[in-house]
Structure 1
Amino acid sequence: MLAAGQSKRFNGIKQLAKVNGQPMLLHTLTQLTEHGDLTRELCEFNLVLGANAAHILPYVPDYVSPCIFPQWQQGMGATIAFGVQKANSESSHLLVTLADQVAITREQVTTMLHHCAANPENIIAARYKGILGAPVIFPRTYFSLLSELDADTGARKILQQYSASVVAIDLPNAQFDIDTQLELQQWHQSMGQDQKN
């Protein structure tokens, strides 16, 4: 899971913003893993931190392994490359998720894992609003390409370049990617929640 950014547009430490009464990072991890249950299906679950890591670390549950990326300012592409370097050498695939995708559920990721098992040579990517993006599962054959990313464009250019090898999973929940205070407020309103909860 990527959670290394400074969140300039958010005007605060986004990873610690309250969602359902808990820090966003913890909410997303809980939602995604069902309190760590999903991690039993993976050989490891790494959480890549960068900006504000010292503030965020106390909230990281013990079922994930925090990895701090010192050059987080280089952007998402470089952060993914760092995450690939930290991946277990025996990993056959890499699941990339984002800490600010607050609506992704364990069930949805499990569906993606099932598609991965059925199509082990293919990239499995979420599709929403007509685009492909995270969560996404890359086979090891793409690790070298991922490790060369160095810009702020993330892995989307790989998804575009190898679109014929992508199995797209319609995942409307993936569109909830919180970047600003307003987006967080709108998400709370769409869920019928009080922003302070």
Structure 2
Amino acid sequence: MMAQENTGIIILAAGNSSRLGQPKQLLDYQGRTLLRHTVEQALAVSSRVIVVTGSENSIIDQETGSAATIRNENWQEGMASSIHKGLNEMLLKYSETENILITVCDQPHIDASVFSELIEKRQLSGKKIIASCYSGTLGTPVLFSQSYFSDLLKLSGHEGAKKLLIKYKDEVGQVLFEKGSVDIDTPEDYQQLINNQ
């Protein structure tokens, strides 16, 4: 349990979902919004959960529950700015945080067990980066130990954590998240999700 308490979870929810035409954070799936679902699953694993919002901020804030929320005024600059905002806020609130998990809110099949597996793999493998594996690739949610916090803070523009998974590929462990490939970017993606529920 100590490892979970030393792990903070940052939920990136600042984008404006331009391809979707409406905030993906607020899409309804199985009785709750995608953001609310992600927050609930994160809080089931760690009390240190920070949601980074940006676009449509006032509406989205209502869906963050008891998680801490920080607004990224520069969300239009790209994902790196939200990672910076979330990580800096995490270290300000919880200076003793040893690992952070970065996740997004448009993977409807995210579950507390995925977060727990990433943390457990970090403990058991000795690897300092643990990524989710799906559809032949590595992606979010992804865990970084504190030795990579400075690398995360050096990301810029639209660079996400994926850049570090490539740069440090020999230091990356992985857990299988089969349904991680399902994310919502377009109206068609959402319709397919609803049709398959």
Q: Common fold, TM-score beyond 0.5?
A: yes
User: What amino acid sits opposite 1:81 in the alignment?
Assistant: H
CA contact (8 A) 1:80 1:147 kept: yes
Question: Cα distance, 1:169 vs. partner?
Answer: 1.2
Partner of 1:70: 73
1:138-164 CA-to-partner distances (Å, cap 9, x unmatched) read 011110010111121311111001000
Matched, 1:56 2:60: yes
- Structure 2 spans left out of the alignment, 5+ residues: 1-10
Give the structure 2 partner of residue 189 of structure 1. 195
What does 1:14-163 align with in structure 2 at a 5 Å threshold?
A: 14-30=24-40, 32-33=41-42, 36-40=43-47, 44-62=48-66, 64-88=67-91, 89-163=95-169
Checking the alignment, whether the CA contact within 8 Å between 1:120 and 1:139 is kept in structure 2 is: no
Please give the TM-score of this superposition, normalised by the length of structure 2: 0.88
- Do the aligned residues in 1 keep the contact of 2:53 with 2:70 (CA within 8 Å)? yes
Q: Alignment length, in residue pairs?
A: 184
Moved beyond 4 Å, runs of 4+: none
Instruction: For 2:186, give the aligned amino acid.
Output: T
Return the offset for 1:38.
1.6
* Inter-partner Cα distance in structure 2 for 1:190 and 1:172: 16
Which moved further from structure 2: 146-155 or 116-125? 116-125
Q: Say if 2:184 is the partner of 1:178.
A: yes
After alignment, is 75-84 or 4-13 more displaced? 75-84
Greater strand fraction, Structure 1 or Structure 2: 2
* Secondary structure at 1:67 match in 2: strand
Is 1:11–2:15 an aligned residue pair?
no
Per-residue deviation, 1:121 = 4.6
CA shift, 1:21, in A, is 2.3
Cα contact 1:15–1:56 (8 A) shared by 2: yes
| TM norm structure 1 | 0.88
Give the drift of 1:37: 2.5
Structure 2 residue matching 1:153: 3-state secondary structure: coil
In 2, Cα distance between the equivalents of 1:120 and 1:45?
A: 24
User: Sequence identity of aligned pairs in percent?
Assistant: 30
Mapped partners of 2:89, 2:185: distance in 1: 26
